[in-house]
Amino acid sequence: MKTKEQIALQEVESESIKISGAEAVIRCLLAEGVDLIYGYPGGAIMPVYDELYKFQDELNHVLTRHEQGATHAAQGYARTSGKVGVAIATSGPGATNLVTGIADAQIDSTPMVCITGQVGSHLLGSDAFQETDIIGISTPVTKWNYQITKASEIPEIMAKAFYIARSGRPGPVLIDITKDAQFDTFDFSYKKCNLVRSYKAVPPMEMDQIQAAATLINQAKKPLIVFGQGVILGEAEAEFKAFVEKTGIPAAWTILGLSALPTDHPSNVGMVGMHGNYGPNMLTNECDVLLAMGMRFDDRVTGNLDTYAKQAKVIHFEIDPAEVDKNVMADIAVMGNIKETLTKITPLVEEKSHTSWFEKFKEFDAIEFDKVIKEELNPSKEGLSMGEVLKEINNASGGDAVIVTDVGQHQMIACRYAKFNQSKSNVTSGGLGTMGFALPAALGAKMGAPEREVVAIIGDGGYQMTIQELGTIFQTQAAVKIVVLNNDFLGMVRQWQQLFFDKRYASTEMVNPDFVTIAKGYFIDAQRVTKREHLADAVQTMMASKKPYFLEVCVEKENNVFPMIPSGASVSDIRLE
Amino acid sequence: MEATQIFTISIYSENNVGLLNRISAIFLKRHINIRSLNTSPSEIENVFRFVIVVKMTEEKVKKVVKQLEKQIEVIKAFYHTDEETIYQESALYKVKSDSLFDERHIQNIIKDSHANIVTVSRDFFVIEKTGFRHETEKLYEDLAPYGLLQFVRSGRISVTKTPMEISDILK
């Protein structure tokens, strides 16, 4: 049997017939191994949609209800599958609606190719119907973008787009194709791209830096690892685990690094950052060597840079040279693909256990448990907490589910308390903080890992930003489990208003619709929980369902997420209440 | 706080539509004013060269250069201080022809400034002066009293004293 890639190439190449640019787009996608794309049709992309109709057995197109949904779905797909997500839209508003998802993919290093239709090349610059300068608009938020005005450019540019999107530090690429380039015919041939002369995907590994890092690690008395999404994107989970276990160094995760190491792993000491755990944040300012692995010292991780880990020597494992010394100066930069650098460094490090250093983390854990976690997971108040919902989801999933979160309090609670046994399980909008991300991303996540349970956890605010994607979930019947933690507030903003703006709750209270009725309107099974005694059963029912399922949990209206490092404060000024 | 100074950024790149936009966006995002910008071919066939002059701290220019180099179509970017480069700007001055004949002093200005007369017509003549900023500014000040019909100055063009290892990178 011929593979899809072969189908894409053989038929046309052997007969040497001319095909249209639009057909070439489809054949390029197939040649890149794409079998699923998300999008929304419209005037300037219609020739490509016409070809999609002809190729519908080979290439599944999911019609989202908004182009933003297509990008987030493509992101979710990329994050769980490790493949390049593809989103397609028409010119003008179709293209501009992609921008939020593209910016999100750029800041969270998600491989994505977006294809947009454009008005005919003779109309460019004439303010034609649905003309917009999407190249100009998307330039600052894409890894690369290109406007195709001739059909013959399509194979080379598409090959380049996929290579650039997935190689090195991944990111979004946008290809804009004028309508005449979609219609014109040309002799098609396709060659995969593996080199762009002006682009070095991975900087060369330097053995002396690795040796120097190993020496420093071996001398360290109180080392701390902070690992980010680089470990996941580099598919270096096994190498990372081996390194952690041999060196015996406590390892803390950034929000996007979550699930690279199982949450129950004995060396896993929790999350760093604004709502991270007490121990790793406090001890960042006590460690003697800080190993930053595939992370970029985001301000939500570091707090005030002037007081961040000043006592520590910093070793930065990084693939992107622009990240080194950007926020935190590195004493040693270990450049390269982290899978390779870890493979090289692990034999050079000594086997250790750092037992008394770990004890310090446990001391802080005990304080945090007492002051925060105990009440969050087993509330003494009547109202439900977000934490206890997570606890029930953990009980039902056993840590095997993919958790997709939106942005806000529910996101922080989910990332703090969700259990993960395997990698590529935490899908969230980290860098951009895009409300509305979760619902479409969960659809994509499920399609990227159909064998896995996917649970979306969303706040009542973000849910309503892309609620229309319930239609896509209904139409595809992707068995996504949707949990809305409803506190009738834009909770995180309200928390800031309470703590830093003297409880002036400006425009954060929401009068919400009947979410259960809305879900049922889309023929999605749904229920609402308002009381603790019904929670466990409701979560079990949802998880047992083989279909999409919606669960609204009405939680305490004015709970806060702690610990918290106030914006601009030091990591060691973390507040527990 | 580290002091700001003038840096000349040299970018070797592919010659593609949109790259200028991508490069200027890096400055825009960081709220950096570009003092001058020049684009031209380079010593390597099919490789383009941008010369951009900015005023900022060295810490900041280092980060900007890394961001520039990160762009797919940028082959290599460098930054240099004025001491490390040989640089020039060109200026054109359009003056009424009457001034040339009526004001003998103007001829001395042209001679002393080592400027060239590019063209002379019945109505106007055009002077060209290449040099440092203070030289083209001096000539501007000297000619202004006689009435400048037009004045324009190019962006800085610059070569470095030490070699740039750019040709090797493309191999």
pLDDT tens-digit map of A353-396: 999 999 999 999 999 999 999 999 999 999 999 999 999 999 99
Q: Tell whether B58 is within 8 A of chain A (Cβ).
A: no
Both A406 and A344 in one domain: the answer is no
What CATH number corresponds to the domain at position A389? Answer: 3.40.50.970
Average pLDDT over residues B63-68: 98
Q: Which domain holds residue A95?
A: 4-187
What is the enclosing helix (H) or strand (E) of A423?
Answer: none
State the Cα–Cα distance between residues A365 and A278, nearest whole angstrom.
Answer: 7
In a domain, A323, yes or no: yes
In a domain, A171, yes or no: yes
Q: What is the pLDDT of residue B163?
A: 87
B16, closest residue in chain A (CA to CA): A146
State the Cα–Cα distance between residues A73 and A81, nearest whole angstrom.
Answer: 12
**Cβ pair A135:B18 closer than 8 A:** yes
> Does A236 or A6 have the greater pLDDT score?
A236
As a dihedral over the C-alpha atoms of residue A566, residue A567, residue A572, residue B1, rounded to 10 degrees, the angle is -150
Of the candidates A403, A382, A364, the one whose C-alpha atom is nearest the C-alpha of residue A563 is A364
As a dihedral over the C-alpha atoms of residue A361, residue A363, residue A364, residue A367, rounded to 10 degrees, the angle is 160
Nearest-Cα distance to chain A for B126, in Å, is 35
Contact A118, A44 (CB under 8 A): yes
Of B16, B21, B72, the CB nearest to A164: B72
Cβ contacts (< 8 Å) between B60 and chain A: which residues? none
Average pLDDT in chain B: 93
Both A215 and A248 in one domain: the answer is yes
Categorize the per-residue pLDDT at A323 as very low, low, confident or very high, splitting at 50, 70 and 90.
very high
Whether the per-residue pLDDT at B170 is higher than 80: the answer is: no
pLDDT, tens digit, 9 for 90 and up, residues A88-97: 999 999 999 9
Of A140, A145, A321, the CB nearest to B29: A140
Q: Is A170 left (phi over 0), alpha (psi -120 to 50) or beta?
A: beta
**Cβ pair B18:A198 closer than 8 A:** no
Q: What is the pLDDT of residue B164?
A: 80
Both A256 and A317 in one domain: the answer is yes
Strand partners, A18: A187
Both A315 and A453 in one domain: the answer is no
In a domain, A571, yes or no: no
**Cβ pair A199:B72 closer than 8 A:** yes
pLDDT, tens digit, 9 for 90 and up, residues A4-47: 666 666 555 555 679 999 999 999 999 999 999 999 999 999 99
In chain B, the domains with their CATH numbers are 5-85+161-169 (3.30.70.260), 87-153 (3.30.70.1150)
State the Cα–Cα distance between residues A374 and A500, nearest whole angstrom.
Answer: 25
pTM of the model: 0.96
Residue in B24, B27, B72, B167 to test binding to A, most A beta-carbons within 10 Å: B72
Average pLDDT in chain A: 96
In a domain, A231, yes or no: yes
In a domain, A471, yes or no: yes
Contact B153, B91 (CB under 8 A): yes
State the Cα–Cα distance between residues A415 and A425, nearest whole angstrom.
Answer: 11
Both A169 and A262 in one domain: the answer is no
**Cβ pair B73:A139 closer than 8 A:** no
Q: Tell whether B153 is within 8 A of chain A (Cβ).
A: no
Both A344 and A455 in one domain: the answer is no
Nearest-Cα distance to chain A for B66, in Å, is 5
Both A155 and A276 in one domain: the answer is no
State the Cα–Cα distance between residues A412 and A561, nearest whole angstrom.
Answer: 7
Whether the per-residue pLDDT at B171 is higher than 60: the answer is: no
Of B22, B25, B66, the CB nearest to A322: B66
Other C-beta atoms closer than 10 Å to the C-beta of A396 total: 19
pLDDT, tens digit, 9 for 90 and up, residues A190-227: 999 999 999 999 999 999 999 999 999 999 999 999 99
Q: Tell whether B72 is within 8 A of chain A (Cβ).
A: yes
Lowest mean pLDDT among A559-568, B63-72, B99-108: B99-108
Q: How many domains does chain A have?
A: 3
Phi and psi at residue A415, to the nearest 5°:
-70, -30
Q: What is the pLDDT of residue A7?
A: 62
Cβ contacts (< 8 Å) between B17 and chain A: which residues? 147
Both A287 and A398 in one domain: the answer is no
What CATH number corresponds to the domain at position A234? Answer: 3.40.50.1220
- ipTM of the shown complex: 0.93
State the Cα–Cα distance between residues A235 and A422, nearest whole angstrom.
Answer: 12
Both A106 and A246 in one domain: the answer is no
Both A353 and A393 in one domain: the answer is no
Whether the per-residue pLDDT at A520 is higher than 60: the answer is: yes
Both A236 and A338 in one domain: the answer is yes
